[in-house]
Structures are given as C-alpha cells and as structure tokens.
Structure 1
Amino acid sequence: MDIRCGTAGWTDKTLIACKRFYPRGSSSAEARLRFYASQFPLVEVDSAYYAMPSASNAQLWFERTPEGFTFNFKAFRLFTGHQTSPDALPRDIAMALPDGIISARKKNVYYRDMPGDIRDELWQRYREALEPLRASRRLGAVLFQFAPWITRAPDGLALVEECRARMAGYMMAAEFRNQSWFDDEHAAWSLEFLRERGIVHVIVDAPPDVSNRVHTVWEVTNPALAMVRLHGRNTQTWGATGAASAADRFDYDYSEAELTDLAVPIRAIARRAGRTHVIFNNCFEDQGQRNARTLMSVLEGIKDAP
C-alpha cells in the first residue's frame, strides 16, 4: 500500500516561531522546504487558497525537492465559492473588475460575480502556475474545499461541474463542508456523482459534535487516489469567528491512541486505491508535523506486525 503522510503547509508562522520542527540555521524559504521534504513525502500548498499561486514559485519548489516528492494544491478560494477580497486577486485583474462589483457595502467578490473573460483569465493563470510541478511529476491533486454554503442544489452542482471541466487533465479532489452531500439520504448519490467524474472524495476527520461539517465517509471514488484530511477535533475553535488564523481554529494535538484508531480505516481505504494521501491540517505550531510522524510510525508498525 502506498500511504503518504504530510501537512497542510510548511511555513505557518506558529510553526516557525515554536522552533521545534526546523533545525537551527533553517531560516530561509529554501532551507525550510528542503528540510521538510527530507522528513515527509507529501505537502499541501495551503497558501494557494489565500492567493493565486505563481509559476516562478512552483519552479523553485520543484528545484528544492527530491524526485518522488508530491505537492497537493489547495484551490484558490474564489473558485470554491468563498468570499474573496479583491486584494487577493492579481492586481491587474482587480483593477479590471467592472464598476458595481465592489462597493462600500460589498467589500468581497464571489465567483458568480466574475465576468466570463475574467474567469477564463484566472483559470488560465492558475493552470500555468501548476505547470512546472505537473511537468516534473511533482503535482499530486488539486483540492477544492467548497464553501459551507455550497450544497447539492443546482447552482452547487454546476460549480463543481465547472471546476471539473476547468481542471480537465488534472487530479481533482473535492472536500465538501455542507452536510447535504453526505447525509444518510444523499451519501450514495454524492459518491456516485464523484465517481462518474473521476473526482477524489476527501475523507475528513473533524470535531464529531459540531453541525457545520460534512459527515466522515470512508469511501473511494477514484481508484488512483484516496485522500484523508485531518482537521483536529477542537469543538471550541471549529466555528470561532474571532479566530486569529487557521492555526488557532485547528489547534488540536491528536493522541497516539487516536492516531492508532485512525490507522485502521486509513489502511482499509488504502487497499482500494493506488495511492493514499493523509494530510494533517492541525497547523498550530508543530502539531501537524509531530502527528504525521506518529501516524507514519503507527502505520509502519501495523505493516510489520505478524
């Protein structure tokens, strides 16, 4: 079984500030990525959610990582239905937005607001940014984490369909946040919807006692890849509107017992896919990195057990 573990990002401010993961002297972007890639075979580029990625950075990341290392990309927030500040757009595109899209009362833009030509340009630039990693076989999946208000209604399905069409030729993964996708009545339909389109279903671990999360469904929808993303189980911070950062929201340290329990379904799902990616999104300080190492050790121990 090909199970690869990694974390959502490698440059979180709290990770660097805690000084527990990176060795002394790893003060440059290049040194940090090289060290990270010596410890894990996989990383998720979460910064691509907050701003459009660039081909120049992707080329540097290729040069700084060994053969066999994999980058998953988190899709730009505008594409997944999230509210987006014009400041997150490339400057020339923000300047080209038609009058009326932004106003004193409406400071964010949404994908539905974008004129067709601007949509086309954004998608083109996004694919161009991925090209150095795709061409070098460093690119894994592009993760679309759809906004909590994206449901199975026609407009939600249309957005998923458009993303799939725009990403033709790439491995696309979908993480839904609205419960309508995988409640008891609709889970089978949603899984088949993903299978028919070759979209990877993202299995999530999150606080079990909150309502604004999708159900955890251990299923494979693309035989080439299974994906598990572990968000931690911090109920208090999960929906906190005042959280200063993603690190604060996903502040959770999995115990070895919890990771041992999770290793069982992870191994079961890995038997049904060519590769399995496990991403720790509990990005406060070095929690994700420590937990990923522990899970790798647990999985290795299970493999070697008689």
Structure 2
Amino acid sequence: MGELLIGTCSWTDRALVGSGWYPAGRRDAEGRLRYYAGRFPVVEVDASYYALPGERNSRLWVERTPAGFVFDVKAFSLLTGHPTRAAMMPDGLPPDAGDPAVLDAVWARFTAGIEPLRAAGRLGAVLFQFPPWFVPGARAEAFLRECAERTAGWPLAVEFRHPRWWADEERTEATRDLLSRHGFTAVAVDMAQTLASSVPPVTPVTTPRLSIVRFHGRSAAWGTGSKEDRFRHDYSAAELAQWAPRLRALAERVDELHVLFNNCCADASVRAAETMSGLLAR
C-alpha cells in the first residue's frame, strides 16, 4: 500500500484560527504551523490562489515543519482562468490572462515562490483547480498542454469543477487518458450530489506516483452564498466510514495518497481529518 497522508486545505483559515483549535501560545504564524505539522503530515497552501507565493515564506515553511512533511500548493488564480484582483498582480501588471507578457511574468513569480519547497523535496503537488466554465473541448486541451509545457518536472494535480469531465464511462476514460498523457494527477472530490453542478465522486488514477481526494463538505449552497455557506458541513463518522474502503483501495494503486479536508468552518476540517485518520488506522 502507498503512503497515506491526511490533512486539511489550510492551516491559516480565519475560521480555524478563531475556533480555539490552536492552543494559547501557538497562535502566531510560526506556532500555528509547528502545531499543525505536529498532528498532520500534509497541508494544502490555499493562500497561493489569492496571492503569489513568496520565496521567503516557502523557506520558513520548510524550516518550521519536520522532515517528510509536504505541502500541496494551489495555483494562483490567473493561472487557472479565475478572476484575479489587480492588487494581487506583480509589479503593477494588469490581470490580463490573454497577454503573453503578463502570463510569463506571473508564471516566473509563481515558480520562484515555490522553488524552496521543490528544492527541499517538500512539494507534494501543485493543484490546478479549474473553474466551472472550464469544460471539455479543444480549448481546454490546448490550455492543459500549455500548462504541461510550463510545469515540466513538477508534480501537478488537476481538479475539474464542471461535472462533464466525469459525466459517463466514455467521458471519464477520455479525461483519464488526457491527464495521463501529461503526467497530471487527477483530483477526486466529495461534495453534495444533489446539484446540477455536482462533480461525481469518481477516483481515477492517472499517475502511479500520487492521487488526491479533496473533501469539500456536502452543503447544498455549493456555488452560491458566502464561503462559509458553501463549505459549512460537519462530516459524520458514518459519512467518512463510507470512504474508508475506497481510500484504502486507492492507496493500493499509487505511491502516495493525499486526503485533504476543505470543509473550512471553525475546526470542522481538522476534526474530520482526525476522524478519518482514526478510521484508516483501524
């Protein structure tokens, strides 16, 4: 069986910090990460979606975590076709994804920002989470091909937010083949299945090195309302137990499996990660 790493999609989320999960004396930036890394072996860097990561922070993350701890880093919003605030762009550049010079500058800054993690062997994956309007077709395939060229040698994972990518057996096979050709890890998700936008909980393996499952919660407000509305869900032990045999089977097919909880309201994500850890340990 491959190594199974369980964690959450942020250690700095405001709701988690305010929940009281971090003990007194461990609530500064260094204390939070050291405390988290003493309890989980993996974390997703969510902040890099909103602002380009910096080399200094990456070096500090390496210094503040034990050997073997890994970071999955979310790609900056402009690189995945999401709206991007001008204030988050480097050197006053406009958030224009259609301008090759702008894209080159953003790619260069993102690459430099995560290099300390790569150099230390602590980069689990770079997560490209595509928007709901990123649908199967020639344009999407060209975009993925460009991503593969720019990230050659990176451990790259892809999460699609449009259900058509995994709509039926034929489409699933085509999507699996597309990601495999580029060496991209397919990200599986758990979410509410009652919405038109619901992505099915398929678990395709597209690279032998790594697989990732992200648990978004099962809120019916997915795609609407505030962030808290979209991700408000406390996983029950029964809900998590349903996934345990699937995760064990998935871990048999890859060198490493990351299980990450994104139900980021108060301490719901860390409690779910702790529960899942206990279930899989048994």
1-side partners of 2:68 and 2:42: how far apart?
Answer: 9
State the match for 2:45 in structure 1.
45
Report if the CA contact (8 A) 1:282-1:288 is conserved: yes
Q: How does 1:1-306 map to 2 (within 5 A)?
A: 1=1, 2-19=3-20, 21-90=21-90, 92-94=91-93, 97=94, 109=95, 111=97, 113=98, 115-184=99-168, 185-235=170-220, 237-240=221-224, 242-243=225-226, 245=227, 247-301=228-282
SS in 2 for 1:186: helix
Q: Aligned AA for 2:277? A: M
2-side partners of 1:150 and 1:282: how far apart?
Answer: 23
Across the two proteins, how many residue pairs are aligned to each other? 280
TM-score scaled by length of structure 2: 0.96
Report if the CA contact (8 A) 1:81-1:110 is conserved: no
- Structure of larger gyration radius: 1
Report if the CA contact (8 A) 1:151-1:157 is conserved: no
Of residues 188-197 and 39-48 in structure 1, the stretch that sits farther from structure 2 once superposed is 188-197
Report if the CA contact (8 A) 1:83-1:110 is conserved: no
Deviations 1:30-63 (A, max 9, x none): 0000000000000000011111111110011011
2-side partners of 1:93 and 1:252: how far apart?
Answer: 38
Runs of 4+ in 1 over 4 A off after TM superposition: none
In the alignment, structure 1 segments of 5+ residues that lack a partner are 98-108, 302-306
Query: How far 1:214 moved relative to its partner?
Result: 2.4
State the match for 1:103 in structure 2.
none
Alpha-carbon RMSD across the aligned residues, in angstroms, is 1.2
1-side partners of 2:27 and 2:4: how far apart?
Answer: 30
Q: Aligned AA for 1:211? A: A
SS in 1 for 2:38: helix
2-side partners of 1:8 and 1:155: how far apart?
Answer: 29
Report if the CA contact (8 A) 1:259-1:295 is conserved: yes
Report if the CA contact (8 A) 2:222-2:229 is conserved: no
2-side partners of 1:218 and 1:57: how far apart?
Answer: 33
Report if the CA contact (8 A) 2:219-2:229 is conserved: no
In the alignment, structure 2 segments of 5+ residues that lack a partner are none
2-side partners of 1:258 and 1:214: how far apart?
Answer: 17
Query: How far 1:89 moved relative to its partner?
Result: 1.1
2-side partners of 1:31 and 1:70: how far apart?
Answer: 17
Query: How far 1:248 moved relative to its partner?
Result: 3.6
2-side partners of 1:154 and 1:201: how far apart?
Answer: 19
TM-score scaled by length of structure 1: 0.89
2-side partners of 1:248 and 1:86: how far apart?
Answer: 26
State the match for 1:101 in structure 2.
none
2-side partners of 1:43 and 1:147: how far apart?
Answer: 22
Query: How far 1:163 moved relative to its partner?
Result: 1.4
2-side partners of 1:110 and 1:7: how far apart?
Answer: 31
Deviations 1:63-115 (A, max 9, x none): 1000000000000111111111212212x142xx4xxxxxxxxxxx452x3x2
2-side partners of 1:110 and 1:158: how far apart?
Answer: 18
Q: Aligned AA for 2:271? A: R
Q: Aligned AA for 1:123? A: W
